[in-house]
Structure 1
Protein backbone atom coordinates (compact mmCIF):
# COMPACT_ATOMS: atom_id res chain seq x y z
CA UNK A 1 0.00 0.00 0.00
CA UNK A 2 2.96 2.29 0.66
CA UNK A 3 4.02 1.91 -2.98
CA UNK A 4 0.57 2.97 -4.16
CA UNK A 5 0.70 6.12 -2.02
CA UNK A 6 4.22 6.88 -3.27
CA UNK A 7 2.99 6.81 -6.88
CA UNK A 8 0.09 9.10 -5.98
CA UNK A 9 2.49 11.54 -4.29
CA UNK A 10 4.45 11.71 -7.56
CA UNK A 11 1.15 12.60 -9.24
CA UNK A 12 2.51 14.12 -12.46
CA UNK A 13 6.23 13.36 -12.22
CA UNK A 14 7.18 11.96 -15.60
CA UNK A 15 10.93 12.31 -15.06
CA UNK A 16 13.08 9.83 -13.19
CA UNK A 17 12.91 6.08 -12.90
CA UNK A 18 10.53 3.60 -11.26
CA UNK A 19 11.40 0.08 -10.17
CA UNK A 20 9.41 -2.92 -11.34
CA UNK A 21 8.02 -3.34 -7.83
CA UNK A 22 6.70 0.23 -7.77
CA UNK A 23 4.96 -0.14 -11.13
CA UNK A 24 3.48 -3.62 -10.64
CA UNK A 25 2.31 -3.04 -7.06
CA UNK A 26 0.59 0.16 -8.18
CA UNK A 27 -1.03 -1.76 -11.06
CA UNK A 28 -2.18 -4.57 -8.77
CA UNK A 29 -3.72 -2.27 -6.16
CA UNK A 30 -5.28 -0.14 -8.90
CA UNK A 31 -6.86 -3.25 -10.45
CA UNK A 32 -8.22 -4.47 -7.09
CA UNK A 33 -9.75 -1.05 -6.37
CA UNK A 34 -11.38 -0.99 -9.83
CA UNK A 35 -12.89 -4.45 -9.27
CA UNK A 36 -14.21 -3.52 -5.83
CA UNK A 37 -15.67 -0.23 -7.05
CA UNK A 38 -17.25 -1.99 -10.02
CA UNK A 39 -18.92 -4.57 -7.79
CA UNK A 40 -20.14 -1.90 -5.39
CA UNK A 41 -21.20 0.33 -8.28
CA UNK A 42 -23.28 -2.29 -10.06
CA UNK A 43 -24.94 -3.55 -6.89
CA UNK A 44 -25.74 -0.04 -5.63
CA UNK A 45 -26.63 1.35 -9.08
CA UNK A 46 -23.72 3.82 -9.09
CA UNK A 47 -21.67 2.30 -11.93
CA UNK A 48 -19.97 5.63 -12.62
CA UNK A 49 -17.90 5.25 -9.43
CA UNK A 50 -15.20 3.04 -11.02
CA UNK A 51 -15.00 5.35 -14.03
CA UNK A 52 -14.54 8.39 -11.82
CA UNK A 53 -11.75 6.67 -9.89
CA UNK A 54 -10.05 5.61 -13.14
CA UNK A 55 -10.16 9.16 -14.41
CA UNK A 56 -8.73 10.46 -11.12
CA UNK A 57 -5.67 8.18 -11.26
CA UNK A 58 -5.09 8.35 -15.03
CA UNK A 59 -2.26 10.88 -14.75
CA UNK A 60 -0.38 9.02 -11.97
CA UNK A 61 -0.76 5.76 -13.93
CA UNK A 62 0.72 7.35 -17.05
CA UNK A 63 3.51 8.94 -15.01
CA UNK A 64 4.57 5.69 -13.30
CA UNK A 65 4.47 3.90 -16.66
CA UNK A 66 6.74 6.54 -18.20
CA UNK A 67 9.13 6.30 -15.24
CA UNK A 68 9.13 2.49 -15.57
CA UNK A 69 10.07 2.79 -19.24
CA UNK A 70 12.81 5.24 -18.26
CA UNK A 71 14.23 2.59 -15.90
CA UNK A 72 14.68 0.29 -18.90
CA UNK A 73 16.38 3.19 -20.75
CA UNK A 74 13.45 3.73 -23.12
CA UNK A 75 11.48 6.84 -23.89
CA UNK A 76 8.25 7.44 -21.99
CA UNK A 77 6.59 8.09 -25.34
CA UNK A 78 6.64 4.33 -25.93
CA UNK A 79 3.43 4.26 -23.89
CA UNK A 80 1.78 5.12 -27.20
CA UNK A 81 2.82 1.75 -28.63
CA UNK A 82 -0.08 0.35 -26.59
CA UNK A 83 -2.45 1.96 -29.11
CA UNK A 84 -1.57 -0.76 -31.64
CA UNK A 85 -4.19 -3.51 -31.14
CA UNK A 86 -2.94 -6.66 -29.37
CA UNK A 87 0.71 -6.50 -30.51
CA UNK A 88 1.29 -3.06 -28.98
CA UNK A 89 -0.04 -4.13 -25.59
CA UNK A 90 2.12 -7.28 -25.60
CA UNK A 91 5.26 -5.31 -26.50
CA UNK A 92 4.49 -2.72 -23.80
CA UNK A 93 4.03 -5.45 -21.16
CA UNK A 94 7.39 -6.97 -22.14
CA UNK A 95 9.07 -3.55 -21.84
CA UNK A 96 7.46 -2.96 -18.43
CA UNK A 97 8.46 -6.41 -17.14
CA UNK A 98 12.08 -6.08 -18.26
CA UNK A 99 14.62 -5.46 -15.52
CA UNK A 100 15.91 -1.92 -15.33
CA UNK A 101 19.43 -0.94 -16.29
CA UNK A 102 21.77 -1.36 -13.29
CA UNK A 103 23.83 1.72 -14.16
CA UNK A 104 22.72 5.32 -14.20
CA UNK A 105 21.11 6.42 -17.45
CA UNK A 106 20.00 9.82 -18.84
CA UNK A 107 16.80 9.53 -16.77
CA UNK A 108 18.58 9.27 -13.42
CA UNK A 109 20.40 6.91 -11.07
CA UNK A 110 19.37 3.32 -10.47
CA UNK A 111 16.33 3.46 -8.12
CA UNK A 112 17.46 0.26 -6.39
CA UNK A 113 20.62 2.03 -5.26
CA UNK A 114 19.15 5.48 -4.70
CA UNK A 115 18.17 6.40 -1.14
CA UNK A 116 14.44 6.24 -0.45
CA UNK A 117 12.70 9.49 0.48
Structure 2
Protein backbone atom coordinates (compact mmCIF):
# COMPACT_ATOMS: atom_id res chain seq x y z
CA UNK A 1 0.00 0.00 0.00
CA UNK A 2 2.98 2.27 0.65
CA UNK A 3 3.97 2.13 -3.05
CA UNK A 4 0.42 2.92 -4.16
CA UNK A 5 0.25 5.98 -1.93
CA UNK A 6 3.72 7.09 -3.04
CA UNK A 7 2.57 7.16 -6.66
CA UNK A 8 -0.60 9.06 -5.73
CA UNK A 9 1.47 11.65 -3.84
CA UNK A 10 3.65 12.13 -6.94
CA UNK A 11 0.64 12.06 -9.27
CA UNK A 12 1.98 14.70 -11.68
CA UNK A 13 5.73 14.14 -11.39
CA UNK A 14 6.97 13.01 -14.79
CA UNK A 15 10.69 13.54 -14.11
CA UNK A 16 12.91 11.20 -12.16
CA UNK A 17 12.89 7.43 -11.99
CA UNK A 18 10.61 4.75 -10.55
CA UNK A 19 11.65 1.25 -9.53
CA UNK A 20 9.94 -1.84 -10.90
CA UNK A 21 8.43 -2.44 -7.48
CA UNK A 22 6.83 1.00 -7.41
CA UNK A 23 5.29 0.57 -10.86
CA UNK A 24 4.04 -3.00 -10.45
CA UNK A 25 2.69 -2.50 -6.93
CA UNK A 26 0.72 0.53 -8.15
CA UNK A 27 -0.54 -1.59 -11.06
CA UNK A 28 -1.51 -4.44 -8.69
CA UNK A 29 -3.42 -2.22 -6.25
CA UNK A 30 -5.14 -0.42 -9.12
CA UNK A 31 -6.25 -3.74 -10.58
CA UNK A 32 -7.55 -4.96 -7.20
CA UNK A 33 -9.46 -1.71 -6.64
CA UNK A 34 -10.93 -1.90 -10.16
CA UNK A 35 -12.09 -5.48 -9.57
CA UNK A 36 -13.70 -4.54 -6.26
CA UNK A 37 -15.44 -1.56 -7.88
CA UNK A 38 -16.67 -3.78 -10.72
CA UNK A 39 -18.16 -6.23 -8.22
CA UNK A 40 -19.84 -3.39 -6.31
CA UNK A 41 -21.22 -2.02 -9.59
CA UNK A 42 -22.72 -5.34 -10.57
CA UNK A 43 -24.30 -5.76 -7.13
CA UNK A 44 -25.71 -2.22 -7.19
CA UNK A 45 -26.78 -2.45 -10.83
CA UNK A 46 -24.70 0.56 -11.94
CA UNK A 47 -23.33 0.96 -15.46
CA UNK A 48 -19.53 1.12 -15.02
CA UNK A 49 -19.83 4.47 -13.23
CA UNK A 50 -17.45 3.64 -10.38
CA UNK A 51 -14.71 2.12 -12.55
CA UNK A 52 -14.96 5.01 -15.01
CA UNK A 53 -14.55 7.57 -12.23
CA UNK A 54 -11.65 5.60 -10.71
CA UNK A 55 -9.99 5.27 -14.12
CA UNK A 56 -10.24 9.00 -14.75
CA UNK A 57 -8.90 9.82 -11.28
CA UNK A 58 -5.87 7.55 -11.70
CA UNK A 59 -5.11 8.38 -15.34
CA UNK A 60 -2.51 11.04 -14.56
CA UNK A 61 -0.75 8.99 -11.83
CA UNK A 62 -0.66 6.01 -14.24
CA UNK A 63 0.98 8.10 -16.94
CA UNK A 64 3.44 9.66 -14.48
CA UNK A 65 4.59 6.38 -12.94
CA UNK A 66 4.82 4.82 -16.41
CA UNK A 67 7.05 7.65 -17.63
CA UNK A 68 9.23 7.41 -14.50
CA UNK A 69 9.48 3.63 -14.97
CA UNK A 70 10.63 4.10 -18.56
CA UNK A 71 13.16 6.68 -17.35
CA UNK A 72 14.57 4.09 -14.95
CA UNK A 73 15.37 1.76 -17.84
CA UNK A 74 16.91 4.62 -19.83
CA UNK A 75 13.99 5.34 -22.17
CA UNK A 76 12.03 8.53 -22.73
CA UNK A 77 8.52 8.84 -21.35
CA UNK A 78 7.31 9.43 -24.89
CA UNK A 79 7.57 5.67 -25.39
CA UNK A 80 4.21 5.52 -23.59
CA UNK A 81 2.66 6.49 -26.92
CA UNK A 82 3.33 2.91 -28.03
CA UNK A 83 0.12 1.97 -26.23
CA UNK A 84 -1.71 3.63 -29.14
CA UNK A 85 -0.57 0.75 -31.36
CA UNK A 86 -3.03 -2.09 -30.71
CA UNK A 87 -1.66 -5.21 -29.03
CA UNK A 88 1.98 -4.96 -30.19
CA UNK A 89 2.54 -1.58 -28.52
CA UNK A 90 1.22 -2.90 -25.22
CA UNK A 91 3.51 -5.94 -25.38
CA UNK A 92 6.54 -3.75 -26.07
CA UNK A 93 5.65 -1.49 -23.14
CA UNK A 94 5.26 -4.46 -20.80
CA UNK A 95 8.75 -5.62 -21.80
CA UNK A 96 10.14 -2.12 -21.17
CA UNK A 97 8.42 -1.97 -17.76
CA UNK A 98 10.00 -5.31 -16.82
CA UNK A 99 13.55 -4.26 -17.72
CA UNK A 100 15.97 -3.75 -14.85
CA UNK A 101 17.20 -0.31 -13.83
CA UNK A 102 20.24 1.21 -15.46
CA UNK A 103 23.18 1.07 -13.09
CA UNK A 104 24.05 4.35 -11.41
CA UNK A 105 22.78 7.70 -12.57
CA UNK A 106 21.35 8.25 -16.02
CA UNK A 107 20.10 11.35 -17.84
CA UNK A 108 16.81 11.17 -15.92
CA UNK A 109 18.26 11.19 -12.42
CA UNK A 110 19.82 9.07 -9.72
CA UNK A 111 19.21 5.38 -9.28
CA UNK A 112 16.16 4.90 -7.03
CA UNK A 113 17.63 1.64 -5.67
CA UNK A 114 20.42 3.50 -3.93
TM-score, normalised with respect to structure 2: 0.97
Provide, for residues 8-36 of structure 1, a one-character-per-residue CA deviation record: whole Å limited to 9, x for no partner: 00010000000000000000000000000
Cα distance in 1 for partners of 2:97, 2:82 equals 12
Verify: 1:80 aligned to 2:81, yes or no: yes
Cα distance in 1 for partners of 2:11, 2:92 equals 25
- RMSD after superposition: 0.6
Cα distance in 1 for partners of 2:93, 2:40 equals 31
Cα distance in 2 for partners of 1:41, 1:50 equals 8
Corresponding position of 1:17: 17
Q: Please list every run of at least 4 consecutive aligned residues from structure 1 whose deviation after the TM superposition is greater than 6 angstroms.
A: none
Cα distance in 2 for partners of 1:86, 1:59 equals 22
Report the Cα offset of residue 45 of structure 1.
1.8
Count residues in correspondence.
113
Q: Please list, as runs of the form range in 1=range in 2, the aligned pairs for 1:1-12 lying within 5 A after superposition.
A: 1-12=1-12
Corresponding position of 2:63: 62
Verify: 1:106 aligned to 2:111, yes or no: no
